[in-house]
A and B are shown apart, each in its own frame.
Chain A
């Protein structure tokens, strides 16, 4: 199975900050990398798929990049509603493993 490693596991930031979260795959996954946001007690929400494609309705301050094994999610200007946990997921091969999550706190 492909292992997905996110860093950091948590971070503290302020409104307006630029935030970067990284995700590394244990083997190449080309660009089959997705990002989700999850708020407490809620289902995850798809932000970005295939590394850099913004899901419909997601604000443009969310940006994804990378290919192969190393990927990045950037929030260009953190908003109050962005405080949440973020997960990467590979969809290159089954099982479609998730990273351990990054909690973005105030």
Chain B
């Protein structure tokens, strides 16, 4: 059974940093593109970033470029999102998602999400 379990969310002050992790199991993690998608309270989904199978390619939405870094550890079946210079508008539930094999950008499995709150 495919499982994605996020962790690392919490309350952080504006300008602070937070590192999210996603533990993957039940599938060959190294074979899949992986993504982060977020959802601010009461708002629509927003795609944040994704990373190629071997970590050699990454893409970001403009609003997080230069502040967030997506990475992965295929030996540990782990996806990460390092979030720096956090702003109030980064407050959201952050979901880890697996991309369909050979069709990146389509998310077939999602974690339960972890809440990040940026507030003083």
Contacts and interface: CB of A to CB of B under 8 A. Distances in A.
Given A94-B59, A96-B47, A100-B44, A55 B110 contact: no
B103 interface: yes
Task: Please tell me the size bucket of the interface on B.
Answer: 20 to 34
Given A91-B103, A94-B105, A95-B61, A44 B110 contact: yes
B32 interface: no
Contacts, number: 60
Interface string B77-120: 00000000000000000010000100111111011110000000
Contacts of A38: 45
Nearest to A56: B108
A36 B108 CA distance: 10
Interface residues of A, number: 23
B108 to A, nearest CB: 5
Interface string A51-83: 000010000000000000000000000000000
B105 A43 contact: no
B59 A95 contact: yes
